[in-house]
Amino acid sequence: MKTELVKNFKEHFNREATGLFFCPGRVNLIGEHIDYNGGKVMPCAISKGTYLAIAKTTEKKFRFACLDFPETAELHIQSSYSKAGKQWFNYPLGILDHLIQNGYELSGLDMLFSGDLPVGAGLSSSASIEVLTIFAMSKLFDINISRVEMALAAKKVENEFIGVSCGIMDQFAVAMGKSNEAILLDCETLQHEYIPFECGEYSLTIINTNKQRALAESKYNERFAECGAALKALKKELAIEKLCDLDLKTLEAHQHLIENEILFKRARHVISENERVKKAATALKTGAFTDFGSLMLASHHSLKELYEVSGIELDTIIEFAAKFKSCIGARMTGAGFGGCAIALIKKDSINDFTAKLVPFYKNNIGYEPSVFVSNAEEGVREIKL
């Protein structure tokens, strides 16, 4: 990828790149749909991501190109920008606009992007390109900005420039990732702890359903509202601010407050998932990897049965993985309704797993999934040319 990108940069812009950068995507290992309920998430950066070859120019223009999309852009440097349709270059443009709005002077730039993250798979391709761009700008223009501030800036761009109401997890994970470590993150306070995630004889296996997540946003808003309604009912007797302030025993003792069965199911998922995250952190710290795998399977069951954000594609993958003898854990990751699943598979069984999963999935769904292996990786970084 590096060699091809540098070669293409010279062909496209008729000059040599002077900088090369990479930002990974991410998966959430456990802790789904609890960030907006006061719980903690546990993401890690992965091996696939986005690359940027770049060079400053004396021209007062930003030039954008990408090996993965045909659209290019050449924009004169100005005092502000606004989103232009749904083109991919809105993501780096939003970052440049953010920096300009905050008083940073930028020169002309030639930028060539490329990546191996599947778009729409829930692996944070947009966060990857945003954090990648601001990291590259910090290096090229000697901007003193921390990685946490980069993540916050990228979230602000996603929310206000792109117009997507995302949380901080994606940007934080790709900016702050560490090799062989997961991040236990409180999305509200940004307090975080690195947890060892060395898989030993197992591999973190990522399975893309290859179904775009068309329903995710509307269902996300619906679940958000349902959790709010459950919290409101519980606050009649309990002095709590978030659902994750509760444990399961307290929830069950006050079940009478939530008359709607669906709302109770949503609350039960949130609170049980929060407890699973705590147990998962302990399991990883003590090397109890099989316990972590069991928690993954319990998480998926809860997301399927109580929170109802899975789907036939994800369930087909988990059904297969749960019965595969060399798999100790599997779950959907991300918002749901498509996207990706993750599984912990013995390294010497990956080829067998893939060879058997692909026809099983195709027979049930009608098309093939994509399978790849990753470690927990470093976050955004510069690559030597």
> Which pair of tokens denotes residue 240?
């709590």
The DSSP code for 308 is -
CB distance 175 to 131 below 8 Å = yes
**CB neighbours of residue 338 within 10 Å:** 23
| Catalytic option among 97, 170, 245, 247 | 170
Nearest in space to 328 (alpha carbons), one of 354, 293, 377, 374: 293
Bridge partners for 23 per DSSP: 50
What is the Cα–Cα distance from 56 to 19, expressed in whole angstroms? 9
Burial class (CB in 10 A: 0-12, 13-18, 19+), 19: middle
Task: Give the distance from CA 55 to its chain's centroid.
Answer: 28
CB distance 213 to 120 below 8 Å = yes
> Which pair of tokens denotes residue 182?
């997961």
Q: Which residues of 367-383 are buried (b: 16+ CB within 10 A; e: fewer)?
A: eebebbebbbbbbbeee
Bridge partners for 62 per DSSP: 75, 109
What is the Cα–Cα distance from 3 to 139, expressed in whole angstroms? 21
Nearest in space to 120 (alpha carbons), one of 376, 379, 370: 370
CB distance 314 to 209 below 8 Å = yes
The residues, any chain, with a CB within 8 Å of residue 14's CB and separated by 6 or more, are: none
The residues, any chain, with a CB within 8 Å of residue 66's CB and separated by 6 or more, are: 72, 88, 89, 112, 113, 114
CB distance 327 to 320 below 8 Å = no
- Given the DSSP bridges, would you call strands 327-333 and 340-346 parallel, antiparallel or unpaired? antiparallel
Question: Does the annotation mark 170 as catalytic?
Answer: yes
User: Which residues are part of the catalytic machinery?
Assistant: 170
